[in-house]
Structure 1
């Protein structure tokens, strides 16, 4: 029997730090060691560790190279398969129950999770696949690779998270609509309910950082931990995005700097 090989990565403020591939039992033992070390450090997440703490945690473990990139199919129909993504990676029990019903009504009762934080369903024929796509779209799932919500990351925010100062999920839906022209040009956005930036540790083209007063700090080309002097209501953020005009030869970074320049 062929032994499974696993490869672990440690989150850092920049890029993941990969360990060397190892047999599954050894990899799981290393994972236990890492988690116990994280718990003992008092940090809430790996990327919050200071470099000396991270070095101590990795002592005795062998570092490796990042695995080669794999091809990820976009959301949508692929023959008899439907790949549907959850908006901002969120799915509640009611939606999951509904998806299970789709798998029984249109397929063989099986479904699988995907790397794109969604689900894959295989149905009996292409006609059923089209019907399923329509049902998934009506339920709010992402079934179009051009959906602007795919360009926006968002944490649960308030009231789901005690640290959230703003309703990040609800605001992210509204932001995605206003951000669509920029998303089509490859720009990304992040709506974070607080400075921890749980949904996206790295930088985004536009990051909104929730505050206790319900407003957002605005960060361009940075992450949720980046300091900012520009603080706006969410309505003001949408107004400034509406001022951005997509020209024949747009410069997204310049257009956003102009839109979010002080004073209003």
Structure 2
């Protein structure tokens, strides 16, 4: 155990004297990993095409589902995703004023989070094309999750003030991975958006970029972006959150490939879910 800690402390800050951050490190990793396992088992988030597809059943179940859904506040998916991402962006922007003069690493982490959520809102407004609805009682928990995880990552970074830097400085590698991840994610989201003409609600097999090798290159680059943020941050919480996010997106990639296999008879079997030639 001491050997493991000595290795970890070569590239992360010592765990902060905060029960909240320590608990959130465990909760974030566990809850996201559990969500990824749920995706593999077919239990999907209630805003995805997979969830809508799985809720097509018998007449009785459809009537029950329709009756229940009628009582829930509906939003356009675009509005729902704006609600999901905006508080996290506001938290990262506000932190520049709440924690001024925290040093270069803090500035990099906060800037990366701000860019990440600004990009997400930009994509919602100008790139993504949506064909379904989202429920308010789904949008709000997602929004809270993003807000809490972003605020916790920033607060965990704040707690490192005064601590000695980790012996292995991963900032430069982190910046490179973050920029590569966010650029690759944006590019493949753009390719996805070009699959649909205005008013088209159908699904097609994506092509171009890394889509010829994996069905979810946008998730692959999102994982790379979060690894980049973790390397810039070098806090236990950042790495725990990234671990959970990676497992979640692996599960979602598996579910996505399975969905395409069931929907398209001509889906190429050699296309992997997330990692070219491997997974």
TM-score under structure 1 length normalisation: 0.26
Task: Say which structure, 1 or 2, has more relative contact order (CA 8 Å, 6+ apart).
Answer: 2
- Considering fraction of residues, name the structure with more helix: 2
